[in-house]
Structure 1
Amino acid sequence: MLKIFRPMELIKDTDLNMTEITYEIGYSHIADFSNNFYQLTNMRDQSQNLGGILSGFIFA
């Protein structure tokens, strides 16, 4: 679960692309990250507006 909160923070707070975020959080394969992210959030990580959607969230 922690591997989902960190990328959500990175999407919201940085200009890193999804490939950079995938490797930053320790995934070796982008497809694995994408599938896990979708299963836990029901949001596709490629969404153009994902940063905007997450802007209202506070990650502790």
Structure 2
Amino acid sequence: MRTTLRALEGLLLYRGQRTARHNAWASVVEDRRRAHSRRETQRLLEATGTRRAGREHPA
């Protein structure tokens, strides 16, 4: 009985770790996508001469 419980526990922990790794990788991919989008937006703003919000406003 003890061996069966340990085997089941090991299987559940393995699945949990696999899920955690998958979720972590999905977060990394999404962060990279957002960073790429920010860089592209920044390039476009600089190319068009548009100022970022929060900088000096004309009086």
TM-score (norm 2): 0.23
Q: Counting helix residues as a fraction of each chain, which structure ranks higher?
A: 2
Bigger Rg over Cα: 2
Choose between structure 1 and 2 for higher RCO, CA contacts under 8 A separated by at least 6 residues: 1
TM-score (norm 1): 0.23
